[in-house]
Amino acid sequence: MKTLSLLAADLQQGRTTSRALVEECLQNIAAPHGEGVRVFLKVDAERARADADRHDAERRAGRARSPYAGIPVSIKDLFDREGEVTLAGSKLLRDAAPATRDAPSVARLIAAGFVPIGRTNMTEFAFSGLGLNCHYGTPANPFDRATRRIPGGSSCGAAVSITDEMAFAALGTDTGGSCRIPAAMCGIVGFKPTARRVPLAGAFPLSPSLDSIGPLANSVECCAILDAVLAGEHIEPILPLPLRGLRFAVPQAVVLDDMDEQVAGAFSRALSSLAAQGAIIEEIPLTQLQELAELNRKGGLAPPEAYALHRDWIAEHADEYDPRVLARILRAKEQDAADYIQLLRARTSFAERLAAELMSFDAMLMPTVPMIAPPIASLDDDAAYRHTNALALRNPSIVNFIDGCAISLPCHRMGEAPVGLMLATLGGRDPQLIAIAASAERALAGLA
C-alpha cells in the first residue's frame, strides 16, 4: 500500500516526484476499462499538474510546505472549491453559481501541500449509505469487480479513488457512516472525528446536527495525518497505545444482529487477534441501543434538517432528484416542530446515558456494517434498497447520534470480501482512539 509516509519518504529521497504521482493518478483515472468515469465528476488535470510542478520546484529549493507536499488527494463533490460549482452528486445544482472560496477543510489540505486531483462521485446530497448515484453512475467495489458490487456511501468515489490509486487519500464526510461504510466495504481505513474538530463551512450540508468531515486512506497513520491537517493541528507522530490491559466493550444488543457469514467470521477472528495481544474483550448488554429504532421511527434528525434546505427546490424541481433520495428527505413531513425538538432532547439524554455506560471502557467494538457489499443489481428493488441501506447505516449512525468518534479498520483475510472492524468511543477522545487503532491495525495485519 502506498501510504502517505512512504510517499513522503519517496519524495524526500528523490525516488519520485509530485508530477510523477499526479501523472500516475491521472493515468489510472483514464484507464479505458477502469472506474474513473464513475469515480470522478470532475478531474482537475491541468491544475493538478501545475500544482505538482510548483511543489517539485519548492522541494528542490528546500522549501517544501510539509513532508506530504505534492501528494494527490481526492475531494468529495460536496466541498467548495473556488471557481467550481458544488454539485453534491446532483444534477439539480448544475447551473448554480461557482464557489467564491475554498472550504476551510480543502484550504487546509492545499496549505499543507496536498494536490486535489478532482471531485469524487457520491450519493446525491450524501443521503444514503450505499453509494448509488442514478445521475452519474455508481463506481464498482474493487472486490469481485466482475459482479459489480456497491462501494458503500455516501463517499463512494472517495473510497474507490484510493483502492484504484487514482488518489492516495480522500476527503469525505460522515453523517451516519459515509466515511466508514465505504472504507469497510472497500477494504481501507475511514475515520469519523468528533464533529467539532473540523469546520463544516463550505461543505454542502445534509444534517448539521450529525455532519462531520473526515478522511479515507490506506492506513490509520494516513488518517491521523489528514485529520491533524483538517483540524488545523500540528502533525505529530502516532504513539500506538499498547493493547494489553485495554478494555473493549462489545455490545450484545442490535449491533451484532443480521451479520452474514463472512462478517461474523471476520469479526470473531478480529476479536481473537486483539485478545491475543492482551486486550480485555467484554461482552456487555447495552440494551439502551434498542431505543434507537423508536427514537428514529419518523426518520430521525436528517430528514427535517435536509428538508429545511431543500423544500423550495423540491417544490419546483422534484423531478430532478434521485427518487430514493427525495423520498428520504420527504420523510420530514412525518414530523412536526414538536417532534423535532423532542428528538433533540432525547438525543442529549441518550448520549449522556450511553456515556455513563461506556466511561470505563477504552472503546466499543462492532462490525462497521453487518454484511459484505451486495451486487449493485440486487438493489434495483426499492424494498431491498431500503432494507440494505438501513442495515448499512445502523451501526455507524450510533456514533453520529452520540457525537462520538470512530474508525473502521479492514479485518478480512487476503482474497476475501472486505469487512470493517469499527472502534468507537465518546466525543473528544480522538487522539486516544487513533493511538488504539494504530495498535489494533498491527494486530489485525496478521489476519491477511
Percent of the chain with pLDDT over 70: 100
**Residues carrying an active site annotation:** 76, 154, 178
- pLDDT one-digit tens code per residue, 239-253: 999 999 999 999 999
Name the pLDDT band for 1 (thresholds 50, 70, 90).
Answer: confident
Tell me whether residue 289 is in a domain: no
For residue 170, what are the β-bridge partners? 74, 216
- pLDDT one-digit tens code per residue, 361-419: 999 999 999 999 999 999 999 999 999 999 999 999 999 999 999 999 999 999 999 99
147: pLDDT strictly greater than 90? yes
- Residues 291-300, mean pLDDT to the nearest whole number: 97
Tell me whether residue 214 is in a domain: yes
Tell me whether residue 86 is in a domain: yes
Tell me whether residue 251 is in a domain: no
Question: What pLDDT, on the 0 to 100 scale, is given for residue 152?
Answer: 98
Tell me whether residue 285 is in a domain: no
Tell me whether residue 179 is in a domain: yes
- pLDDT one-digit tens code per residue, 164-218: 999 999 999 999 999 999 999 999 999 999 999 999 999 999 999 999 999 999 9
Name the pLDDT band for 448 (thresholds 50, 70, 90).
Answer: low
- pLDDT one-digit tens code per residue, 55-103: 999 999 999 999 999 999 999 999 999 999 999 999 999 999 999 999 9
446: pLDDT strictly greater than 80? no
- Residue 336 CA to residue 334 CA, distance in Å, equals 7
Question: What pLDDT, on the 0 to 100 scale, is given for residue 217?
Answer: 98
CB contact at 8 A, 154 and 174: no
Tell me whether residue 278 is in a domain: no
Question: What pLDDT, on the 0 to 100 scale, is given for residue 197?
Answer: 97
- pLDDT one-digit tens code per residue, 10-58: 999 999 999 999 999 999 999 999 999 999 999 999 999 999 999 999 9
Name the pLDDT band for 447 (thresholds 50, 70, 90).
Answer: confident
285: pLDDT strictly greater than 90? yes
Tell me whether residue 341 is in a domain: no
CATH number at residue 425: 3.90.1300.10
Average pLDDT, the chain: 98
259: pLDDT strictly greater than 80? yes
Structural domain total, the chain: 1
For residue 201, what are the domain limits?
A: 1-242+365-448
Number of Cβ within 10 Å of residue 365's Cβ equals 23
